[in-house]
Amino acid sequence: MKLAYLTISAAILALAVWNLWTEKDWRKQAAAAMVAIPLLLRVFLIK
C-alpha cells in the first residue's frame, strides 16, 4: 500500500514540476510550486 501511495505521489509531483517549467504565467507557476513542495516532502517521507 505504501508503494502505491509513493508511486501516485511521485507521478503527481512529476506533473506539477512539468507544469511549473512549461507555464509562462508566474501566478500559475507559483501555484504549481505550492503543490510541488508538499508532494516532494511526501515522496521523501519527510513529515
Length of the chain: 47
Residue 47 clears pLDDT 80, i.e. is over it: no
CB 36 within 8 A of CB 14: no
pLDDT at res. 43: 93
Percent of the chain with pLDDT over 90: 91
Distances (CA, A) of 27 to 5, 32, 34, 38: 29, 9, 11, 18
Domain ranges for the chain, please list them. 2-43
Q: What DSSP element (H or E) covers 15?
A: helix 2-22
What would the pLDDT profile of 19-39 be if each residue is shown by its tens digit? 999 999 999 999 999 999 999
Distances (CA, A) of 28 to 2, 20, 32: 30, 8, 6
* Mean pLDDT of the region 1-29: 95
pLDDT at res. 38: 94
